[in-house]
Structure 1
Amino acid sequence: MSVAGSPVADARPQLDQLTGLRGLAAWFVVLYHIRFSLTAILPGEVIAIFAKGYLAVDLFFMLSGFVMWLSYGEKFRSQGWAQSRPFLWKRFARVWPLHALILAGFVMLALVLAATGRTSDTYPIAELPLHILLIQNWGFTSELAWNPPAWSISAEFAAYLAFPALIIAIRWERLGLASLVAVIGALALCLHAWFAGLGYSILDDDIPRTGLVRCLAEFTIGIALAQLWRLMRESGRGGAIPFVVSASTGITGIALGLPETLWVLACFASLLLALALDGGPATRVLSSTPLVKLGDWSYATYLSHYLLFVVFKLAFVGSDLQIGWLGLAAYGAVVLAVSAALFAGFEKPAQKWLNQRTPLLLKSA
């Protein structure tokens, strides 16, 4: 729970339901990537649902902007640009070590494949420096390579670089409810118009070309949502109206067959706002200990699951690429165990180690 009494304390609430939501979203991405190996045991309707798992990334981007504003907004207000240096180091310490570890795992896999006469175009050595620097999805490549899910980490790191300017240049706290809703709507419509102009109706289309813009727009929507949440919480408003907006938007978009670029962002933004405001059954479920644990492990799940599935298929899956119920249970258990181990044994210790060694030039004055 947040500690009342100061703007900084109020800006850093403990919203466990959003952590639980992030955990479920990470597993939705897992199911998206393994769906073609489940066609023998699951009906087509379920596979079609898993095929939309990429949309969890759009939720991640909004959540990230939401959390960044609540965690750092007041610091930037009080310290200005000087806060950007320690902020960027903290974000680097948060995302890069585990990314580098999993990337090293892919390098080892590529070497083994090459040594056994099996090569793959998905591991281009020439692009490896881009992945090490986390800039692989900044328009330098035309295909996803190495660890495909890491494209979003690359795009989000660009959002971190833009965050200080977004916070300092725009006086979010001066915007009222109507203005914030208008900003969110305008950003969503602009992103839809941009996708439509490129001839795309799916948010996952042409990620190397569209992913960065997609991330920046949704990250900024998350910032606006955080300020909207604070205003609605202070005025005593609950999550009923956002829930209705989210549900009606989703039902309308699906029923009318509208392009997802037109309605998914509004649906997700309303859902995120509703869950942050709500104290009902949905919040209690998402705030449960198992789901919060999944949320804590979600970054490790997200980054490691693709490598684990490639190795799992090489070791245990036949030419039909189907894994069956037993294989699904085994793979899920492996991902869960590895995620927990990486979180406790590497991700958090590496983050702590780097945060204790902030370069002098990056420390705030």
Structure 2
Amino acid sequence: MQVRHELRPLTSARGIAAWYVVLYHIRESAAGTLPQSVIDVFAKGYLAVDFFFVLSGFVIWLNYRDLLAQHRWRAVPHFLWRRLSRIYPLHLLILLGAVGFALACVATGRALPPDYRWDTLPWHLLLLQNWGLLSQLGWNVPAWSISCELGAYLLFPLLVTSIDWEAVRSAVLVALLGLLMLGLWALFTALDKDLLGNDIPHLGLPRCLFEFAMGTIVAALWLRWRHAPRRPATIAALLGLAGLEAYWLGASELLALPFVFVNLLLLLALTAEGRNPMKGRVIHWFGEISYATYLAHAFLFMLFKIAFVSDLRNVPLPLLGLFVAIVVAVSAALYHGFELPAQRWLNRRGPKRPG
């Protein structure tokens, strides 16, 4: 069965999530100029990564499930090469930029940032830095989630080929979704962690794997329900709102927010063919460049503070606006000038799609 490889509202949602992470990382510098209520909202920006993980599972299932189910292990080299072509070149470029900055610090006698430890650099080069092997994030901090995504990609072929998913009833898939949510909650609760952003060096990988698996199940359900979307979309909207209300009333984010993200993703996918404002050209473009935004913004903000900021906790809003403009411009340049060309160059040289 042929499916579309992109649902535009999902790409747009990825862009919004990336900017929520940016706001999370710059929030403390705006503490002197923005109301505390706004800072509190920005402080939850780490949760956008959880939406990324669910969305990633959805997209990978749509694009590669049929290929792996049909050709099985013969398709794995092609699949992994395509995924590495997507995530690794930009990761390497930003990491080399950080290494260049560190060398400049050494040459000029400037103290290195505390996250820059030379002994951890090989793990970052291998994208293994967040597999529970290190005690801190280090170097380009946002790349921790890309390290976890690599783990999900390695397990994905096993997930696809272990079961005949076409034969699994929808009710069973929904039950599996619930079990994954409970499993994530149980893991964090057993370790006495009450936030999804706790202990990322050790819990980031299982957090990713649970949520990535949730996204694959949402994709499998969407494929079954997309031709008659109105009823499941309405149910997803109501359940998502109920999950948000439960969270506002004090329910644990460990359970409530993955539930919300799953229903939000399903709603966006089921309404993607209609008049959806998330299909607009501008917001979609921000989604297209969102990987560059996500991966580059922390390094850019460090350089920006060195160049322009004197009081790290009281940066004027016009100056923060300048930083936002810089991130947009650099993200566009990286996406169009490096990310896409590098991806295409590598894809032409990798293992061919089995035919």
TM-score range relative to shorter protein: over 0.9
Contact 2:229 2:271 in 1 (8 A): no
Total equivalences in the alignment: 353
Bigger CA drift: 81-90 or 315-324? 315-324
Contact 1:191 1:261 in 2 (8 A): yes
Distance 1:112 1:160, change over 3 A: same
Bigger CA drift: 49-58 or 226-235? 226-235
**1:13 Cα deviation from its structure 2 partner:** 4.4
Contact 2:181 2:258 in 1 (8 A): yes
Q: Please give the alpha-carbon distance, in whole angstroms, between the structure 1 residues aligned to 2:39 and 2:159.
A: 39
Contact 1:35 1:47 in 2 (8 A): yes
1:325 aligns with 2:320: no
Letter paired with 1:274: L
1:240 is aligned to 234
Q: Secondary structure at the match of 1:54?
A: helix
Please point out which of 130, 133, 137 is paired with 1:137: 130
Contact 1:41 1:325 in 2 (8 A): yes
1:38 is aligned to 30
TM-score by length of 1: 0.94
Q: Please give the alpha-carbon distance, in whole angstroms, between the structure 2 residues aligned to 1:79 and 1:103.
A: 35
1:164 aligns with 2:150: no
**1:319 Cα deviation from its structure 2 partner:** 3.2
Q: Please give the alpha-carbon distance, in whole angstroms, between the structure 2 residues aligned to 1:104 and 1:22.
A: 25
Name the % identity.
46
**After superposition, where does 1:211-250 map in structure 2 within 5 Å?**
211-238=204-231, 239-250=233-244
Distance 1:141 1:38, change over 3 A: same
| 1:12-65 superposed Cα distances (whole Å, 9 cap, x missing partner) | 343100000000000000000000001122111111110010111011111111
**1:116 Cα deviation from its structure 2 partner:** 2.8
List gaps (5 residues or longer) in structure 2.
Answer: none
Contact 2:31 2:313 in 1 (8 A): no
1:26 aligns with 2:18: yes
1:252 aligns with 2:242: no
**1:175 Cα deviation from its structure 2 partner:** 2.0
Letter paired with 1:141: L
Contact 2:222 2:269 in 1 (8 A): yes
2:183 is aligned to 190
**1:280 Cα deviation from its structure 2 partner:** 8.8
Q: Please give the alpha-carbon distance, in whole angstroms, between the structure 1 residues aligned to 2:129 and 2:104.
A: 23
Q: Secondary structure at the match of 1:356?
A: helix
TM-score by length of 2: 0.96
**1:275 Cα deviation from its structure 2 partner:** 1.0
Letter paired with 1:94: R
Contact 2:229 2:270 in 1 (8 A): no
Q: Please give the alpha-carbon distance, in whole angstroms, between the structure 2 residues aligned to 1:173 and 1:55.
A: 32
Cα RMSD (Å) of the superposition?
A: 1.5
Q: Please give the alpha-carbon distance, in whole angstroms, between the structure 2 residues aligned to 1:190 and 1:173.
A: 24
1:73 aligns with 2:42: no
**1:322 Cα deviation from its structure 2 partner:** 2.4
Letter paired with 2:94: I
Contact 1:313 1:321 in 2 (8 A): no
Distance 1:234 1:172, change over 3 A: farther
Bigger CA drift: 340-349 or 36-45? 36-45
Q: Secondary structure at the match of 1:234?
A: coil
List gaps (5 residues or longer) in structure 1.
Answer: 1-6
Q: Please give the alpha-carbon distance, in whole angstroms, between the structure 2 residues aligned to 1:224 and 1:269.
A: 9
Please point out which of 260, 276, 281 is paired with 1:289: 281
2:327 is aligned to 335
1:3 is aligned to none
Report runs of 4+ in structure 1 exceeding 3 Å deviation. Answer: 234-238, 362-365
